Structure 1
Amino acid sequence: MRRALAQPRFRRLFWSQTISRWGDTFSAVALVVLVFRLTGSGLSVAITVALEVVPVLLFGLVAGAVVDRFPRVRVMVVADVGRAAIALALAVFGDELAVVYAAAFGLSTLTTFFNPAASSVVPALVDRDDVVGANSALWSAAVVSQIALAPLAGGLVAVAGAGPAFALNAASFAASALLLRGLSVAVSMAPIPGGAEGPAGRLAAVRAGLAAVRRSRLLTTLAGVQALAALSAGATSALLVVLAERHLDVGPGRFGLLLGAIGIGAGLGPLVLQRFVTDVRRPSLLFGPYLLRGAVDVVLAAFSSFGLALGALAVYGVGTSTGHVTYQTVLQTTVPERLRGRVFALYDMVWQSARLVSIGAGGVAAEAFGIRAVYLLGGALLIAAGLLGLVAVPAARLGGDDHSASYVETP
């Protein structure tokens, strides 16, 4: 991490994303509190969450094509400026439910463009050997920000209302845009298939990206693995509070400790990876964390000990963070530069689609069969995801000593 952060261009991206996440933490807490205060309805809160997911499904593939066609820093700056404007409008006019819904949709839409651009640009900012460190730094900053600032956000909203939290979010987006404006990245943009411009060109680029993913065993396998994992994690993450109350028999205070255990594990994961692993591009490191997390879900379902649950969830956090850093690094170092935006956007779509299905189905299953059944099934899905990856992707598919990505054809 230190070597990555020592590189000035990456530091700009790091601080832009970190400051933006500070604002996101305040906004996320304020948004759900505001909607519930305005309506008193859990359904309205659920609608707000859905409006944050839908843009990924609607615009994800187009966002990937845009990220691969236009300068990625420019895409990020435009997204940040737009998000700052929406967050500021929310701070001023947030007492209207329609405004809140529209803002949730708009913020998520622009984030759908920002995220694949940010993920795609990392390898251009650091040396190849420092990509793991760069991803570890970004992940660690995000986790620490959430753990440290979520309680402060709750206190601010309780004392001053949601408006100041949204204003802080607007300021964080503006600061991010200013930092990114000074970032210089030399990358080659993807050609438009067939030479078509406008919507026809975007559609052709989307089709070309999907075709390239289908031609790669690694990329198609990863899509399947991500879908299975999201079908598990959507429900188990959303219903952890139910597991705490009905199975572990603990109240809100101890539930907070469970979340803290996940956060501690997630923070330690990248440090463990950096300390003991020299090359993450191995199937055991890419797919092994799914097996680890699946085993944790089974343990949570099988035992009702609070202490055991704390330890297991810390291990789950380690698996989540090491898996994420490895996943990001493998894609960034094996997928051709001109294809990265579409690949990252596609995987965002796969994840959010399966996550949405999981949340809905998990709630129904918890009422019909009990919360333990949800975690047992979640564990089975994660174990299946890990085994699928280990069986389908031999070590050679993650690249040789020359870090070649020739098996992924570039459209």
Structure 2
Amino acid sequence: MTGALTAPADTTPVTPARRPGPLVALIAAHGASLTGNMITLVALPLYVLAETGSAVLTGVAGAFAFAPVIIGGVFGGVVVDLVGYRRASIVADLASGATMAVIPLAALVGGLPIWAVIALVFLSGLLDTPGQTARAALLPDAAALAGVPVERALGFFGATHRASWLVGAPLAGALVAVAGAETAIAVDAATFAAAALVVAAFVPRALQPTVDDEPDAGGYWAAFGAGVRFVARDPLLRAIVLLVVVTNLFDAAKASVLLPVVANERLGGAAALGLLVGVMGGGALIGSLLYGAVGHRLPKRATLVLAFVIAGPPPFLALAAGWSLWPLVGVFVLAGFAAGAINPLLETAELARVPANMRARVFGAVGAGCWAAMPIGALGAGFASERFGASGVLLVAGALYLLVALTPLIGAHWRQLP
């Protein structure tokens, strides 16, 4: 008796279906949240300048806008690792949006004093930073699910930050000019809600790295210490933090005090400020997308130095020279284009060195370290510009920025860039 003939087994490898949806959702949510942040970063100094006329108080407001990123990055990254990346992203955005919504709601019944507005912006930033860290930690797995190289995903992810300048800054300038700072901040609150909704609806719960060792072994402080020690013991991560902390000090001084003061004094106010920040964001968006497409083929250290040299000093020096608005627009577009490569390049290096179960706490520690001097930059620029004038401070800062931008040319640790 013969058995029925059966077809031979199909041994063709099965390629997993690509699912780009979660990656698109993460990028969209990140872009919405960052756009709202940019609206507030533009609206807040203009609001303080209009209410007080003081560059010093504007610097204080800038310091309180940047400080929560440091605190939230250091301490919030561990919480994100413990509670899960998706959940942390949703909860952080909802909490930040609720906090910001208090400001426009209070304006309906008489408004808040300056110190209360600054305190609420500080609290919102404190809650928002872990959400940004959570989305960054989810990105490699979302990229793998979509079948996209991580460099390209990081380029798109970084492009959302740059796009937030392009969209958020001009929108903030227009909102402040037409409807007031409180309305601009209300839009910020709405973007947080939108980001939380997108992640909740389109990022699956299963999109969490599977690792052998548990991130919560030993509790919060043990996990916190492990993340800080990881950064402290890695030569390249230390070098990245040191470079970016100094350049961010200068950038914070420019963004939160020097540029608003110059725009207010001789460029036309809110509309000019929004335009300059917006076109820099537009240039950076193009730079990020281009780096995402071809960055893996470029020499990393040379690209990093060139990007910093073009992105950093020229806006300072052009502002110090007293250039008019439209030549400044050209300088800011070029600077933004170069800046677009910086974050994806450095973030690719970080991802290559950090275990999956430690992403949030290590990214948080690196980010906090990179932002550590930004409140000092904002506060110092406020005092220095009142004492010496904005042009003099811009000239000195631009020259120092150039020296710092060249430092990756020395040191063996920079040769470790992948």
Q: TM-score, normalised by structure 2?
A: 0.78
Mark the CA change 1:142 to 1:213 in structure 2 (over 3 Å): closer, same or farther: closer
**Aligned positions of 1:152-163 closer than 5 A:** 152-157=171-176, 159-161=178-180
1:347 aligns with 2:355: no
Superposed CA RMSD: 3.6
Structure 2 residue aligned with 1:385, among 366, 382, 404? 404
Map of 1:316 onto structure 2: 335
Q: Show structure 2 runs of 5+ residues with no match.
A: 1-17
Q: Which amino acid aligns with 2:134?
A: A
Partner of 1:96: helix, strand, or coil?
Answer: coil
Deviation at 1:259, TM superposition (A): 4.0
Deviation at 1:186, TM superposition (A): 2.6
Deviation at 1:73, TM superposition (A): 0.8
Q: What is the distance in 2 between the residues matched to 1:297 and 1:390?
A: 22
Map of 1:278 onto structure 2: 296
Mark the CA change 1:164 to 1:346 in structure 2 (over 3 Å): closer, same or farther: same
Q: What is the distance in 1 between the residues matched to 2:119 and 2:385?
A: 31
Q: What is the distance in 2 between the residues matched to 1:36 and 1:241?
A: 9
Map of 2:117 onto structure 1: 100
Contact kept in structure 1, 2:70 and 2:372, CA below 8 Å: yes
Post-superposition CA distance 1:352-407 (Å, at most 9, x none): 321222233334444555655534443444344333323224575234xxxxxxxx
Map of 2:98 onto structure 1: 85
Partner of 1:77: helix, strand, or coil?
Answer: helix
Q: Which amino acid aligns with 1:107?
A: S
Mark the CA change 1:60 to 1:259 in structure 2 (over 3 Å): closer, same or farther: closer
Mark the CA change 1:72 to 1:235 in structure 2 (over 3 Å): closer, same or farther: same
Q: What is the distance in 1 between the residues matched to 2:320 and 2:56?
A: 31
Q: Percent identity?
A: 27
Q: After the TM superposition, which of the residue ranges 342-351 and 380-389 deviates more from structure 2?
A: 380-389
Partner of 2:296: helix, strand, or coil?
Answer: coil
Mark the CA change 1:269 to 1:171 in structure 2 (over 3 Å): closer, same or farther: same
Post-superposition CA distance 1:203-227 (Å, at most 9, x none): 2222222221122111111111112
Contact kept in structure 1, 2:42 and 2:169, CA below 8 Å: yes
Q: What is the distance in 1 between the residues matched to 2:264 and 2:184?
A: 30
Q: Paired residues, what number?
A: 388
Contact kept in structure 2, 1:283 and 1:393, CA below 8 Å: no
Partner of 1:290: helix, strand, or coil?
Answer: helix
Mark the CA change 1:67 to 1:385 in structure 2 (over 3 Å): closer, same or farther: farther
Q: What is the distance in 1 between the residues matched to 2:254 and 2:71?
A: 25
Structure 1 residue aligned with 2:133, among 116, 130, 140? 116
Partner of 1:126: helix, strand, or coil?
Answer: helix
Deviation at 1:323, TM superposition (A): 1.0
Q: What is the distance in 1 between the residues matched to 2:287 and 2:174?
A: 29
Structure 2 residue aligned with 1:209, among 207, 216, 227? 227
Post-superposition CA distance 1:320-350 (Å, at most 9, x none): 2111222223223332222322232223322
**Aligned positions of 1:282-321 closer than 5 A:** 282-294=300-312, 296=314, 300=318, 306=324, 309-321=328-340
Q: After the TM superposition, which of the residue ranges 275-284 and 221-230 deviates more from structure 2?
A: 275-284
Contact kept in structure 1, 2:153 and 2:292, CA below 8 Å: no
Q: TM-score, normalised by structure 1?
A: 0.79
Contact kept in structure 1, 2:243 and 2:404, CA below 8 Å: yes
1:263 aligns with 2:286: no
